[in-house]
Structure 1
Amino acid sequence: MVHFPVNHPARPLYRVLAGLVGLYILVFGVWGVFQTWGDPLFDRGSNWVLGLRTNLAFSLASVAFGIVLIVGASRRGNLGHYMNLTAGAVFLVTSILMMSVLQTSANFLNFSMSTVIVSMLFGLLLLGTGLYDKVGTDEHAEEERRKRHHPVSEAGAR
């Protein structure tokens, strides 16, 4: 069973990082929508925004994801925790899938290798923030600490 740290002291920093990732994605998406407006939805042209290649479909998806990440980062409960874990996994899977079709006509989001790398970095960042921003009661946090520092597990480490 996986035990996420509860009430981690650096939780506010992780939420800020997730919010900054969401803000970048939102700005990228809005700028991309303005730049690609009028183009076909899945155009494979050479539209670049903030160093990443895009099309209208990818820009619209980025606007939606950016809003979701900012909302998740602004919540004090565990909604942000679950949203960051999910978004991190989505970013990692999407970047790997898009990398596998990079030089084919199946590259419907118009990814470039720089877009793949940034998506992987954002996925890892969001996954990391999701791992450490879980909120719980003081009793729940103490229970998790006790499970991690159980005498049986410490005796095995010696």
Structure 2
Amino acid sequence: MAHIPINHPLRPLYRTLAGLIGAYVLVFGIIGVIQTAGDPFFDRGDVWVLGLRTNLAFAVLSVIYGAVLLGGAIVDGNLGHMINLGAGLVFIVVGMAMMTVMQTDANFLNFSMSNVVVSFVFGLLVLTAGLYDKVGSPEDVAAEEAFRRRHATAAPSGATSSGG
């Protein structure tokens, strides 16, 4: 059974971390739009912003994605939790997809290996934030504690003691 902690004590830290990543992506996107203005949308040029390669398409997507991620960190409740889970997965999937096509003409977002590494790191951090920032009522917390105590005291199935 899946278990996601509710009202984790470090929840504010995780939401802040996701918000900082969202702010970085938003700032990267804004600077990228400024730097690539006038270039073709899917240009494969040599424009670098904040240590990452970009084109106008990637910069525009970064503005939108950063705003959503930052908004998810600001909004209280489980909406931010769901945004973080989804955004973490998207970071990882996009990083993997762009790494697959990096040396081909299909690299429409103009990714480099540094973009892939940052995408994986951001994905893992935001996904971790999503796993620990779920909000619940006091009844949910009590039910979680009861669940945890019940499974902590139960012996693993099939475990036998070996005598000597």
Calculate the TM-score normalised by the size of structure 2: 0.92
The answer to whether residue 53 in structure 2 is matched with residue 53 in structure 1 is: yes
CA–CA distance in 2 between the matches of 1:25 and 1:85? 17
- The residue aligned with 1:81 is 81
Distance 1:48 1:150, change over 3 A: same
CA–CA distance in 1 between the matches of 2:70 and 2:152? 41
The answer to whether residue 97 in structure 2 is matched with residue 90 in structure 1 is: no
3-state DSSP class of the match of 1:61?
Answer: helix
What CA RMSD, in Å, does the superposition of the two structures yield over aligned residues?
1.5
- The residue aligned with 1:132 is 132
CA–CA distance in 1 between the matches of 2:129 and 2:104? 33
Letter in 2 for 1:61: L
Structure 1 runs of 4+ with >3 Å offset: 151-154
- The residue aligned with 1:34 is 34
Structure whose CA Rg is larger:
2
Letter in 2 for 1:136: G
CA–CA distance in 1 between the matches of 2:92 and 2:113? 14
Letter in 1 for 2:145: R
- The residue aligned with 2:9 is 9
Deviation of residue 147 (structure 1)?
A: 1.4
Identity of aligned residues (%): 60
3-state DSSP class of the match of 1:48?
Answer: strand
Letter in 2 for 1:146: A
CA–CA distance in 1 between the matches of 2:21 and 2:153? 36
How many residues are paired up?
158
Q: Where do 5+ consecutive residues of structure 2 fail to align?
A: 160-164
CA–CA distance in 1 between the matches of 2:36 and 2:154? 57
Distance 1:3 1:110, change over 3 A: same
- The residue aligned with 2:162 is none
- The residue aligned with 2:70 is 70
CA–CA distance in 1 between the matches of 2:154 and 2:18? 33
